[in-house]
Amino acid sequence: MPLVGGHDLLAAAERGGYAVPGFNVSNIELALGVIDAAEARRAPLLLQFNPANLKHFGGLKVAAAAARALAARAEVPVAVHLDHGSSVAMLRAAVQVGFTSLMFDGSTLPLERNIRDTREAYAVALEAGVALEAELGHVGGREPGVAISEAALTRPAAARRFVAETQVDALAVSVGTAHGLAGEVDLELVRELRAATRGLPLVLHGGSGVRSGPLRDAVNAGIRKLNVSTELHAAFARAIAGVSGDDPRPALGAARAAVADVAARRIEQLGAALQA
């Protein structure tokens, strides 16, 4: 399958009534593990890199080259996504090296500043022909490489204004989840935000803490992309720790398989299986 853009994946998820997984990866084995799961379940996915992942991978250029190479050989559609882009300059650099989907995170800024900066980010995405996700409200918790402050739920009236003035392609919303392994989804708020944004694809960050039933309900309410990071990295670390010896390759293989197991479960819960 060819490398695809975020527009393609979001549009397909909207038509099919499912959510596409955005898997945050920080090394090759993690990336291979989530692709293994997607291929086994015939699901599309986004390979995502937040600032901490990028640092571990060797920077934007190296991450883009590796992810694009993996996407090119994958049997399912794969987009390469910048997660929690912290500046317009960072987004511009990402499209120059080959990212096919972007997120600008101005969620810790005052509303007026978030709108202004997101409009600048949208201009970069529009010129490059890639999708732009932004965040309104603020998803709290803890995750390396993500700017975190106290959680603030997304208000429907603010979301209506934000989307109208920025024209973003997807909106990450704060509806009770948290980065890390915590949080519950306020389904009524998801429905209100979906209506306020006139059916815009909504994104749920902090997916690692969401149980299967509430996640399915959130997808039915309008979530079209789920970010998963912590539980993938935790599975990887546990598997590595469980294999001894002087050769790291068996441990890395076990970690890849453990990541694939976690990713496969999320794919099923999102309704993304058999969608590629």
Quickly name the fold that domain 6-270 has. TIM Barrel (3.20.20)
pLDDT digits (tens, 9 = 90+) for 5-25: 999 999 999 999 999 999 999
**Angle 191-270-267 from CA coordinates, rounded to 5°:** 160
Per-residue pLDDT reduced to its tens digit, 186-224: 899 999 999 999 999 999 998 787 899 999 999 999 999
Catalytic residue, candidates 8, 36, 83, 261: 83
Fill in the amino acid letter for 163.
V
Buried/exposed 229-243: b ≥16 CB within 10 Å, e otherwise? bbbbbbbbeebeeee
Q: How many CA atoms lie within 13 A of 53 on its CB side?
A: 27
Element (H, E) at 66: helix 60-73
CA 113 – CA 228 distance, rounded (Å): 28
Give the predicted TM-score (pTM) of the model. Answer: 0.93
Phi, psi of 109 (to 5 degrees): -90, 160
> Is the predicted pLDDT of residue 139 greater than 80, yes or no?
no
Torsions phi, psi of 91, nearest 5?
Answer: -65, -40
Instruction: Tell me if residue 83 is catalytic.
Output: yes
> What is the rounded CA–CA span in Å between residue 192 and residue 205?
18
Q: Which two tokens stand for residue 49?
A: 């890199």
If you average pLDDT over residues 255-269, what whole number do you get?
A: 98
Band (152; pLDDT cuts 50, 70, 90):
confident
Sequence-separated (6 or more) residues with CB below 8 Å from residue 17: 219, 220, 271
